[in-house]
Structure 1
């Protein structure tokens, strides 16, 4: 699919995505701890802010000041954007009724109110954890994701991997609901070699994309995806 893309703000990754995400699509970034899910998300946010877009960042794990602090550590001056074009909201996933209501009912309204073009929920897996029954989780997540599709925005959802399967999200659900899946993981040639970070675009609806596994680095001021290199 051709046309203007929504840049992630990570050059090598945007190349692998055929230029970026498709406008209005939903992307899932799946990875275990330390692979940079939040870092990828804030790069996506900063790219939008630089373009004059309005953005909502829903955090179910880190406090607002920590998310803002991560951005400032990269040398980004985000203060002028706060509560004007950047809205960072911390939700407590242990309060089921509050978190469930705010994500399902208030978020769509907020997207309309602030005219957000980019939305991040980090990590959506903590929202999935609110449901005890698999059947209820599938039903509620399907309704939620389909409701977001009615909004004129591009969405990034991060998810932790399953403890026993680094290729699957915690509940093996998000990857079936979203349009694009980016998998982040650790790789090594053997137990005696250094650990490398690698990513792959597992899925991307309506677009050609790279299916290769590529190494990446989490630097202080940027993420480097080596789209022309091999992992080993």
Structure 2
């Protein structure tokens, strides 16, 4: 089976070669766990391969993102990487703003329409939406949200892109059922120091390492230790 790299060697080993392309995955974690950093590894791997990649920011403005990622050696000013600022305070200087002439970050349906229009104009192989939590806040009814999220996944599936959503740990029960894979980033304190662990909770279509493995956030981004135990 064909697989694509996440951009993190140790995580690829846990996934027995990487992600299955054309599917949607969820990266869960608390604040500071490294969700955005992991997602950016995934995109930059695509950029290195000459793929067209799309990043949609729903929480952190693009200028701040560029500064943060530069600390890991990720230069985001690349013609193969499209960065869309869909944050509530974003400048809206993007193709989405041109399409809707309104702040679509407050509506799941608006985002779905906007992404669909963007994918019609460019063939993206990798997409990150960071974080999906922001959109979940716009639909309070659980059944309506489930239907909206399923419709969202169906739209993305039409374009054969590999998609990563990020979300807070405690707020993604519906998404876990609907995506093809779930990767959790957890941080606990041990003797006053943070202990980081990564665990694959779900990975349809492939075997995978079910153990929680330690990881670190270094000056080069996330490093996973697939042969070490959390204990």
Fold match (TM-score > 0.5): yes
- 2:147 maps to which of 103, 126, 139: 139
Deviation of the 1:53 alpha carbon: 0.7
TM-superposition CA deviations, 1:53-97 (whole Å, max 9, x none): 111100100111122222322223332x1xx32111111359996
Please show how residues 147-162 of structure 1 align to structure 2 within 5 Å.
147-162=155-170
> Residue 49 of structure 1 aligns with which residue?
47
Superposed counterparts of 1:194-209, under 5 Å: 194-209=193-208
State yes or no: 1:184 paired with 2:179.
no
1:108 paired residue among 90, 113, 116: 116
Q: Output the CA distance in 1 between the equivalents of 2:46 and 2:133.
A: 24
Equivalenced residues, count: 218
Structure 2 gaps, min length 5: 91-101
Q: Matched residue of 1:195: which SS?
A: strand
What is the TM-score of this pair, normalised by structure 1? Answer: 0.88
1:12 to 10, 21, 42: 10
Give the secondary structure class of the aligned counterpart of 1:87.
Answer: strand
Query: 2:132 — aligned with what?
Result: 124
Post-superposition, which runs of at least 4 consecutive aligned residues in structure 1 deviate over 4 A? 93-97
Match of 1:87 in 2: 82
- Preserved contact between residue 23 and residue 160 of structure 2 (Cα < 8 Å): no
Q: TM-score, normalised by structure 2?
A: 0.88
Structure 1 portions without partners, runs of 5+: 163-169
On the 8 A contact 2:88/2:103 being kept in 1, the answer is: no
